[in-house]
Structure 1
Amino acid sequence: MASSCSALLQGDPAAFAAALRTLINNPQFSDVTFLVGRGQQKVFAHRCLLSSRCQTFHAMLSQPQEMQAPLILSHVQPEVFLAVIEYLYTNSVTLNSFSALEVLTSSMEYGLDDLRKLCVEFIKDTLSMEQVCEALQAAVAYGQMELQLHCLAFIESCIREVVHTRGFLELSEAAMLTVLQSDCLAIDEVELIHAVREWAHVGSAVLSSPVSDVAKAVVSELRLALLSPSELTVLEEENRKDQMIPMERVAEAWKTHALWKGRGMRSCLCRCRRGTLFREHHRHLDPQHK
């Protein structure tokens, strides 16, 4: 008797995906309706497909309810939700520079790690001056270290242009700290302090809080000791207007100048950044901390 054998043979995956694509947001044969976004746009889908592809949808659609009752998703934009649906149906996704960050957020909300990876790669490949701060903010907020490092490297190289973007002025406190802790920023400290002051004033207007409160956590990363005595004097004059920098921080910078002779300045806040312009007193910096 001849022995039996079996094999798993693959058909054309493109044809299969194309066929499933015709079901996306197609009311014919659909058995679940979502009302998406503030305008409650209808999106049609299929329970068995969503449940098999995503544990979050499996839990959502397993709850006892009327089969025809729409599910309301007011927190997500229709374009973003349709991108998630597209991925679940076809294992591919259409992204653009306006929706990619929101699709990334949804991918983590729904536990779709492969979609998350696709979003991260797209964002990295299409990063622009206008969007890099928004991407950094999302990366910091959602713990996406790979994307965070990529965005930071982009910012470090062109920080003088980035500080003039709207995205920089809208950075969260955590994202701003990430930027200011870098030694590789290609900008002088005077220009950087001015940019942080603008950021703090915008935050003050939005939050209706004093500039000093908005900037409280981030000013500790400004390297005041890199400024010359004349620049520190100008800084003090500016600071009287908004009190962004605590007076003790300015006093510490003056103290550092007074202690030059006979010792190196060891604080990391005396360490020059990549774009720091040379001042005469920088000769006194501890070589290990330059």
Structure 2
Amino acid sequence: MERSESNTQLIPNEEEKGYTNDYSSGYESGSGSSDGEYQDKSSVKSTTFTTLDKIWNEQHHQSTKEKMNFQNTMELSSHLRYIISMPELCDVTFLIGSKQVPVYGVKAIMGTRSRVLYNIILKKQRELEFGAKNPKVQTKNKQRQLKTDHHLTIPVSKYLPEDFQKIVEYLHCGTVDISTSNVAGLLCGASQFELGDLRTACLDYIEHCSRIGSICLLIPSAKRYSHHSSGKH
């Protein structure tokens, strides 16, 4: 049986319809083939998908390299310092010293920064919950709670108000100015509330004062905290 070759076009001429060479129907004539063999569709699609994956991976890799990290901690610190200066924005009040000077803070921040403070705040909350269920305790605490605008109140008797305010600022803002007048109070607070980085900074400052011969300026601050082990040290 003789083989006959057909010259009939399977599709219209692309140039006649204005199609570009980039368009393909999915059939391609094999190079050097004279018997009308064509490439399988599945292989064409596989090649196309592989090319698309390659392009996507290249673009994704390029976009990853173009990432930029931006930080503005100074503005964040400033906003947090503003928050603790506004009692209506805070939910915990520390009453410091015999005069019960109020120092305000945010429970979530302080509890996250210090495990010791977290336990103190949690204990006080449970006491209030128990008092709410007990009519006698509720009557005793009602007037005290009204005086502090319904904030959770925690008395602190062994710190100067200005020193404890610095501790609270450090907990919220992450920055604090250490000086000869407050280093003892900050060191005691850092030790009690387990703030290791602040404690290290205070010890470094004390060592610096010792090197430059101004260690005597720390004595008045230390005497005010002689009841605390870190103050004695």
- Shorter chain as denominator, the TM-score bin is 0.5 to 0.7
Cα gap change, 1:69 to 1:122, in 2 (>3 Å): same
Task: Please report how far the alpha carbon of residue 82 of structure 1 lies from its aligned counterpart in structure 2 after TM superposition.
Answer: 0.8
- 1:35 matched residue in structure 2: 95
- 1:74 matched residue in structure 2: 157
SS of alignment partner, residue 102 of structure 2: strand
In 1, the alpha carbon distance for the partners of 2:88 and 2:75 equals 20
- 2:216 matched residue in structure 1: 130
CA offsets, 1:24-73, max 9 Å, x none?
Answer: 33213211111011110011111111111111111111221436341100
Task: Please report how far the alpha carbon of residue 133 of structure 1 lies from its aligned counterpart in structure 2 after TM superposition.
Answer: 6.1
Contact in 2 for aligned 1:54/1:112 (Cα 8 Å) = yes
Aligned pairs for 1:83-162 (under 5 A) are 83-127=166-210, 128=214, 130-131=216-217, 142=229
SS of alignment partner, residue 11 of structure 1: coil
Structure 2: which amino acid aligns with 1:62? L
Structure 2: which amino acid aligns with 1:91? G
Structure 2: which amino acid aligns with 1:130? C
SS of alignment partner, residue 62 of structure 1: helix
> Aligned to 1:44, which of 100, 104, 122?
104
Alignment TM-score, normalising by the size of structure 1: 0.43
Structure 1: which amino acid aligns with 2:86? N
- Tell me if 1:55 matches 2:138: no
- 2:138 matched residue in structure 1: none
SS of alignment partner, residue 48 of structure 1: helix
Aligned pairs for 1:1-290 (under 5 A) are 1=53, 2-3=56-57, 9-63=69-123, 64-66=126-128, 68-127=151-210, 128=214, 130-131=216-217, 142=229
CA offsets, 1:114-143, max 9 Å, x none?
Answer: 0101111222223425346679999xx858
Task: Please report how far the alpha carbon of residue 17 of structure 1 lies from its aligned counterpart in structure 2 after TM superposition.
Answer: 1.4
- 2:45 matched residue in structure 1: none
Cα gap change, 1:9 to 1:121, in 2 (>3 Å): same
In 1, the alpha carbon distance for the partners of 2:68 and 2:193 equals 31
Cα gap change, 1:114 to 1:28, in 2 (>3 Å): same
Contact in 2 for aligned 1:101/1:123 (Cα 8 Å) = no
Off by >4 Å, runs of 4+ in structure 1: 3-8, 132-138, 141-144
Structure number with higher relative contact order (C-alpha < 8 Å, ≥ 6 residues apart): 2
RMSD between aligned residues? 3.2
Identity of aligned residues (%): 20
Structure 2: which amino acid aligns with 1:38? S
Q: What are the ranges of 5 or more consecutive residues in structure 1 without an aligned counterpart?
A: 145-171, 176-290
- 1:275 matched residue in structure 2: none
SS of alignment partner, residue 216 of structure 2: coil
Cα gap change, 1:8 to 1:111, in 2 (>3 Å): farther
Contact in 1 for aligned 2:167/2:186 (Cα 8 Å) = yes
In 1, the alpha carbon distance for the partners of 2:222 and 2:93 equals 34
In 2, the alpha carbon distance for the partners of 1:61 and 1:8 equals 39
Structure 1: which amino acid aligns with 2:69? L
Query: How many residue pairs are counted as aligned between the two chains?
Result: 145
Contact in 2 for aligned 1:108/1:116 (Cα 8 Å) = yes
Alignment TM-score, normalising by the size of structure 2: 0.53
In 2, the alpha carbon distance for the partners of 1:75 and 1:136 equals 13
Q: What are the ranges of 5 or more consecutive residues in structure 2 without an aligned counterpart?
A: 1-52, 129-149
Structure 2: which amino acid aligns with 1:83? K
In 2, the alpha carbon distance for the partners of 1:116 and 1:99 equals 13
Structure 2: which amino acid aligns with 1:72? P
In 1, the alpha carbon distance for the partners of 2:218 and 2:182 equals 14
Structure 2: which amino acid aligns with 1:25? S
